[in-house]
DNA sequence: GAAAAATTTAACCAAACGGTTGAAAATCGA
DNA sequence: TCGATTTTCAACCGTTTGGTTAAATTTTTC
C-alpha cells in the first residue's frame, strides 16, 4: 500500500529527521526563513557541516535553498513531511487498539479521553 | 519544547524508521506477533542481518522481543511511535499555513478544498 | 579589478551502518 | 546425551555518516 516509489523518499525523510542537529535546524526554520549563515551561527560545529546538513534536508525535500545574491535563503517545505505523516498514520490505524494508551501518554493535556 | 531527554530517543526512532527493511518488518508485525525466524524468512538477507534490524527496532522501543522457549516472539510497541508523532504534530502546527496545500496533496480523498 | 563575505566542494578521518560468515548459546526432540 | 533448531554474538568488510580544514566559487563592496 505504501510500497511504491515513495519508499526511498521515505528513507531520506526519516533519515533526515534522525539527526538532532537537523531537527533543530527545522525548528529554527519553522520560525521563518534564514540564510545558511544565520542557521549555522548558533551551532558549535563548522559552517561547512551545517551546509551539509542542509543538503541532507534539501535532498529529503524538507527544505529548499534559494540563492539570493551571495546568500542562500532556506525555507521549510512541509510537503515532504506528508509522506512521513502518511506512513505513521497508516500504522496508527493498525496499531489503533494500543494507541489509546499512547494518546493518553503523549497528549495528556487534560482528562479528555478522545 | 521538545529538546529534553526525548531527543536521543527520537534519534533512534527516526533512524529505525529510515530503513526500508525495518519498515517492512514493522508492516509485517502490524499483522500480528512473529518469531525472528518467521520475520526473516521472506527477506533476501541473512538471518543475522534481520536479527540486527530487530535489535535496532527494539532499541528504538518500537518492538519488543520476548523469549518463548528457543524462539523469540516479536511484537509491536506503538508507544514509541508517540514521540515521532508528537514531533511531527508539533511541526504541523508551525507549518500549518502550508499544510493546507499538503493535506490537499496527501489526503486527496475528495474535492474538499478546506 | 581586488578584497571581503557567503557558501559549496573536495579531501580526509573516525565511527557507525548494513551486510556477510562462522562460532556460541539455549532449547527442543529423539 | 546427542543432534537439530533458533537465535545471538563476534569478527570482518565496504559504504555512508558527521565532522574537520582548506580550496574554489560567486557576489558584493570599495
Task: Report d(CA B15, CA B62) in Å as an integer.
Answer: 11
d(CA A32, CA B24): 36
- Identify the closest residue of chain A to B30 by CA–CA distance: A94
**Residue A8 pLDDT exceeds 80:** yes
Share of chain A above pLDDT 70, in %: 75
Q: Which residue has the higher pLDDT, A29 or A104?
A: A29
- Indicate whether A114 belongs to any domain: no
B104, part of any domain? no
B-proximal residues of A, 10-69, CB under 8 Å: 10-12, 14-15, 17-20, 23-24, 26-27, 30-31
pLDDT attached to residue B114: 35
Residue A47 lies in a domain: yes
B73 lies in some domain: yes
Instruction: For B52-105, write each residue's pLDDT tens digit.
Output: 999 999 999 999 999 999 999 999 987 777 778 888 877 766 665 544 544 454
Judged by CB atoms closer than 8 Å, whether chains meet at A79 and B88 is answered as no
Is pLDDT of A46 > 70?
yes
Place of cell 523518499: A9
For residue range B10-56, what is the model confidence (pLDDT) as tens digits?
999 999 999 999 999 999 998 899 999 999 999 999 999 999 999 99
Q: Would residue A17 count as lying in a domain?
A: yes
Q: Label residue B6 by pLDDT band (50, 70, 90).
A: low
Query: Is A108 among the domain residues?
Result: no
Distance between CA B1 and CA B68 in Å, rounded? Answer: 41
Chain C positions within 7 A of any protein Cβ atom are: 5-10, 17-23, 26-28
* Residue A102 binned pLDDT confidence (cut-offs 50, 70, 90): very low
At A73, the pLDDT band (50, 70, 90 cuts) reads very high
Kind of pairing, strands B63-68 and A63-68?
unpaired
Strand, coil or helix: A112: coil
**CA–CA gap between residue B29 and residue B33 (Å, rounded):** 6
Domain, as residue range, for B67:
6-80
- Model confidence at A93, pLDDT cuts 50, 70, 90, reads low
- In our burial notation (b when 16+ CB lie closer than 10 A, e otherwise), range B40-62 reads beeeeeeeeebeebbebbbebbb
Q: What is the pLDDT of residue A26?
A: 95
Q: Is A52's CB less than 7 Å from nucleic acid strand C?
A: yes
The torsion angles phi and psi of A71, rounded to 5 degrees, stand at -95, 170
In a domain? residue A97: no
CATH of the domain at B47: 1.10.10.10
Domain count, chain A: 1
User: Does residue B22 lie within any of the structural domains?
Assistant: yes
- What is the rounded average pLDDT of the residues A52-75? 96
Q: Could you identify the residue whose CA is nearest to the C1' atom of nucleotide C27?
A: B70
Q: What pLDDT shows up at residue A11?
A: 95
Give the minimum alpha-carbon distance from A36 to chain B in angstroms, rounded to a whole number: 20
Residues of B in contact with A91 (CB under 8 A): 26, 30, 78, 81
What are the residue ranges of helices labelled H in A1-114?
6-17, 20-30, 36-40, 47-59, 81-94, 96-106
Look up the protein residue whose alpha carbon has the minimum distance to the C1' of C25. B70
Amino acid at each position: 500500500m505504501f510500497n511504491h516509489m515513495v519508499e526511498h523518499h521515505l528513507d531520506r525523510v526519516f533519515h533526515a529527521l534522525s539527526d538532532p542537529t537537523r531537527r533543530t535546524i527545522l525548528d529554527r526554520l519553522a520560525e521563518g526563513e534564514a540564510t545558511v549563515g544565520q542557521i549555522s551561527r548558533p551551532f558549535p560545529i563548522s559552517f561547512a557541516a551545517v551546509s551539509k546538513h542542509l543538503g541532507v534536508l534539501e535532498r529529503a525535500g524538507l527544505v529548499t535553498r534559494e540563492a539570493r545574491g551571495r546568500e542562500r535563503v532556506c525555507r521549510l517545505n512541509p510537503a515532504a513531511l506528508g509522506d512521513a505523516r502518511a506512513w505513521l498514520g497508516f500504522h496508527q490505524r493498525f496499531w489503533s487498539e494500543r494507541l489509546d494508551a499512547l494518546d493518553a501518554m503523549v497528549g495528556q493535556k487534560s482528562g479528555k479521553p478522545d
